[in-house]
Structure 1
């Protein structure tokens, strides 16, 4: 009887240890993917990897492009190679809030002029669908961003000096 009780205690202990050490599954829908610098083309363009989520592929691609531009303008790119520079284009605080109408219009139509799919063969394009969460899907895109043209556009519109 004592041997049976010892065996049950040992089995329960092993079960608790094994299930307690298991890493929880990550839900990519709630993971915050940050923009990563892949290189500098030395002509005012930089190559970045950006993530976007959406209900379908087109919406996810558009969100990835917008996320890349938002990070370049407001946060700076801190991940990946140092060639892209970590300083944001817009350093004045509250610029987004003070120019809300401008940026709403910018991110609905104008932003497409400054970002493009990096030229790669179609089969090598980086579309990594992640597990669906709340009917959203995440994609990674390799993008070319024309930072010099973006900066001159922001200067012309009196957003930066």
Structure 2
């Protein structure tokens, strides 16, 4: 019995003592609603993990739009409409081709989300090895996005 305990303790010590080469970004931050503008657009803080700043901004825009379209259970102020624009289950799966084209690099999505330069908030936390964990304040044009989905036959 003592041998089993000492073997387990030794294994734990060996695995615990090794320090990681980089800080992995396996955890995620929840999208947060900061406010609603008079035109109905929502101001969200969205997060991205990537290696370059430009990629991080685009990833944060895509994440914010995906949250508005499919998730919409973000934290933050209660004035935000946190119901998804596309509440029907499997909408993303059933329209994979459409959304692959919509979210591709320089796809249609970029018309509906912009980096909010008024606040100008960017929280860069650079990992010295590779990753950037970045939070951006993104304005999502919710009404225009809803109209786009209706015009394209994705929502009813």
The residue number in structure 2 matching 1:140 is 135
1:48 counterpart residue number: 44
Give the Cα separation in 2 of the matches to 1:111 and 1:134: 30
Higher helix share: 1
Match in the other structure for 1:13:
none
Are 1:113 and 2:111 counterparts?
yes
Check 1:141–1:59 CA distance in 2 against 1; reply closer, same or farther (3 A cut). Answer: same
Matches within 5 A, 1:96-111: 96-108=92-104, 109-111=107-109
Deviations 1:114-137 (A, max 9, x none): 0111132xxx63222225287221
Aligned length: 132
What are the residue-to-residue correspondences of 1:1-161 with 2, within 5 Å? 27=23, 29-108=25-104, 109-120=107-118, 125-132=120-127, 135-161=130-156
Structure 2 CA distance for aligned equivalents of residues 86 and 66 of structure 1:
17
TM-score between both structures, scaled by the size of structure 2: 0.78
Q: Alignment partner of 1:112: what SS?
A: helix
Q: Which runs of 5+ in 2 are unaligned?
A: 1-22
Whichever of the two has the greater Rg, that structure is 1
Unaligned runs of 5+ in 1: 1-26
Query: What is the alpha-carbon root mean square deviation over aligned residues?
Result: 1.7
> Can you list the C-alpha shifts for 1:80-130, whole angstroms capped at 9, x where unaligned?
00111221010111111110010010001100000111132xxx6322222
Work out the CA distance in 1 between the residues paired with 2:100 and 2:35. Answer: 29
